[in-house]
Structure 1
Amino acid sequence: MKRYGYSIFCDDIRNEVGGKLSFIGCYNSAIFVSHDFPCVLSKFCIHTYVVTAAEQPFRSLSLRCYVPGRRDPILDERIETLNVPAQRKLVSELEPGFVAPRHIVASASLILSPLDIVSPGLISVRAVIDGEAEELGLGSLRVVVAE
């Protein structure tokens, strides 16, 4: 199985009763800003998911967020993962008759408050897996001026 992931871009992420998440003001393919650049969004959120096969656990995982007009990531956040033996132990200690999971999913909410955007372009998120061994695109959102 090839690793994959995706992101939800929105105005806010709320933790609800029972461990549920609510995504408020979700964007589709673009965010339209009503003024010239540079502009500041008081709050911008990204919820990411990264999926791998259970037999290919993560050794390390970091998320990087890029914005238009900046070459370096504005965020480089390490996501804590269990060490490989601990991930495998979880699967081996399942109760008899319980079907072992086929995938491991890592998720994280990124809250950018405020978010400075200096030009039109793409806000994008990438996962860096197992050091620098693999870099995986998790999605992007186009920033445009509304006319």
Structure 2
Amino acid sequence: MTVEPYGTTIFCDDIRHEINGKLTLVGCYSSEMNFNGPPPGLLPSFAALVNIRIPTALPFKSLKLRVLKEEGDEVSEILAAEVEAEEEKIEDIVGGSQEGEPEERLISMTFPCHWSPLPMANTGFIKVRAYLDGGKEIRLGALKINFASEPDAKD
């Protein structure tokens, strides 16, 4: 039984919305993104598919999603979104589901995010976090950004 909220993020170059309702993820990254040259770098397109699961036994009024870009000592917010929980809709979801005991049921939310372009000034991380009611942090994933070092100068 899961009592804590959790989630994952898949980082990729693009998310395509298909006619039949499918999502196609293009150019998925594992735990790191590597630029071939020295900083800075520019991604013409960058995306993240964020999935969050919250047990229905954990009541909340709002969820804030934040995507942070950390480059050295610089931290910037590249996405901030807030979702207000409507008790009637959550009750419809919970009440309409017959699978599992009430304490085992989950609310599942998916957020496709896209940036075009996304500049990267230095090595660092892209981190995805969510906050329930402005407090409880849910860590949803991070992508390490690497740059190849400059080639040695030859005399």
TM-score by length of 2: 0.82
Contact 2:129 2:139 in 1 (8 A): yes
Matched residues, number: 142
8 Å Cα contact 1:37-1:118 kept in structure 2: yes
Which residue does 1:50 correspond to in 2? 52
CA displacement, residues 60-97 of structure 1 (integer Å, 9 cap, x when unaligned)? 1121111132323122122x3541233113333x38xx
Q: Work out the CA distance in 2 between the residues paired with 1:90 and 1:135.
A: 24
**Residues 143 and 76 (structure 1 numbering): CA distance in 2 closer, same or farther, change over 3 Å?**
same
1:141 counterpart residue number: 143
Within the alignment, does 1:74 sit opposite 2:78 as a pair? yes
Q: Read off the aligned partner of 1:124 and give its amino acid letter.
A: K
- Does the residue aligned with 1:85 lie in a helix, a strand or coil? helix
Say whether the 8 Å CA contact 2:70–2:76 is kept in structure 1.
Answer: no
> Is 1:86 the equivalent of 2:89?
yes
Residues 65 and 125, structure 1, Cα contact 8 Å, conserved in 2: yes
Structure-2 separation of matches of 1:28 and 1:86 = 35
2:66 partner SS: strand
Unaligned runs of 5+ residues in structure 1 are none
Q: Which structure 2 residue ranges, 5 or more long, are not aligned? A: 150-155
Provide the rounded CA distance (Å) in 2 between the counterparts of 1:22 and 1:7: 15
Q: 2: CA distance between counterparts of 1:59 and 1:72? A: 26
Give distance in 2, aligned partners of 1:63 and 1:88: 22
* Paired-residue identity, %: 32
Give the alignment of 1:36-47 within 5 angstroms. Answer: 36-47=38-49
Give the superposed CA RMSD.
Answer: 2.0
Q: Could you say if the C-alpha distance between residues 19 and 82 of structure 1 is closer, same or farther in structure 2, counting changes exceeding 3 Å?
A: farther
3-state SS of 1:86 partner:
helix
* Paired AA for residue 8 in structure 1: I
Alignment of 1:48-127 (within 5 A): 48-69=50-71, 70-78=74-82, 80-92=83-95, 94=96, 98-99=98-99, 102-127=105-130
